[in-house]
Amino acid sequence: MDFADLGKRVKQARKEKGYTQKELGEKTGYSEPHISHVEGGAIPSLEFAAKLAKALEISLDELVYGSLQFRGTDMEAEDAMWETCTRKEKKFVIEVLRVYRDNMRVNMDIGID
């Protein structure tokens, strides 16, 4: 995951809404400098990313990945990519997966078989 790209998407979505960093900070409950750091490529917490997506009225998937399109999977490529992730990046990805899983179960009536 490229956090610089995530920051660019946050900035673009914020500008499309006509918000300043201060206004987005007020909508999320975070400070203007915090918004600035994320727009600059800092790694946001999952809680903060979710609040950003809500305030910007876009899905978390769209905010994090820039798209809602399913790209298919290539497990060997994904395994190789996973090996290059830092511990901090892995923790973030795992937390995102937990949120998606829980939301799928609630919103799509997917149970555990």
- Whether this prediction's pTM lies above 0.75 is answered by no
Query: Could you give the angle at which helices 46-56 and 87-107 cross, rounded to 10 degrees?
Result: 50
The two structure tokens encoding residue 33:
């400098």
Q: Which of 42, 32, 53 is nearest to 92 (CA)?
A: 42
Q: Mean pLDDT in runs of 10 for the chain (113 residues)? A: 88 94 96 95 89 89 71 66 89 87 68 45
Task: Indicate the domain borders of the chain.
Answer: 3-107
- The CATH architecture assigned to 3-107 reads Orthogonal Bundle (1.10)
pLDDT at 33: 96
